[in-house]
Amino acid sequence: MKMFYCHVCGSTHAKKAYVNELFNIYGKPVMVEQIPAMECARCGEETFDRETTERIRKIVHGDARPLRCLTMEVFSFSPV
Ligand SMILES: [Zn+2]
């Protein structure tokens, strides 16, 4: 087990979590579900290890087939 260190709040306590993350691939939003992450016990910041990050990169840039497609509504916080 590697030592956890939260780069946001400095806490060393984390729990294992599976998270969904949205990535932006050349302007196209892509969701990856069930990513194993360490979640900071204090502030909730999620961290992926190097292997996980590399695996995500391969999934979203590679030829993996998406499970399903979603239509997503996008809002702007500031009115035009
Ligand atoms: Zn933290």
Rounded to two decimals, what is the model's pTM? 0.75
Would you say residue 36 lies in a domain?
yes
**Consecutive 10-residue runs of the chain (80 residues): their mean pLDDT?**
86 95 89 95 94 94 89 87
Would you say residue 75 lies in a domain?
no
Q: Can you give the pLDDT at residue 1?
A: 55
Would you say residue 5 lies in a domain?
no
Q: Alpha carbon of 2 to those of 5, 9, 38, 49, 50: distances in Å?
A: 9, 18, 11, 10, 12
The total of structural domains in the chain comes to: 1
Q: Can you give the pLDDT at residue 56?
A: 95
Task: Give the distance (Å) from ligand 1 centre to CA of residue 68.
Answer: 32
Would you say residue 68 lies in a domain?
no
Q: Alpha carbon of 63 to those of 13, 20, 58, 60: distances in Å?
A: 36, 20, 8, 8
Task: Give the distance (Å) from ligand 1 centre to CA of residue 10.
Answer: 6
| Domain coverage including residue 28 | 14-61
Hey, is 64 helix, strand or coil?
coil
Q: Can you give the pLDDT at residue 28?
A: 86
Q: Can you give the pLDDT at residue 2?
A: 67
Task: Give the distance (Å) from ligand 1 centre to CA of residue 64.
Answer: 32
What are the residues whose beta carbon lies below 5 Å from ligand 1 (ion)? 6, 8-9, 11, 40, 42-43, 45
Would you say residue 53 lies in a domain?
yes
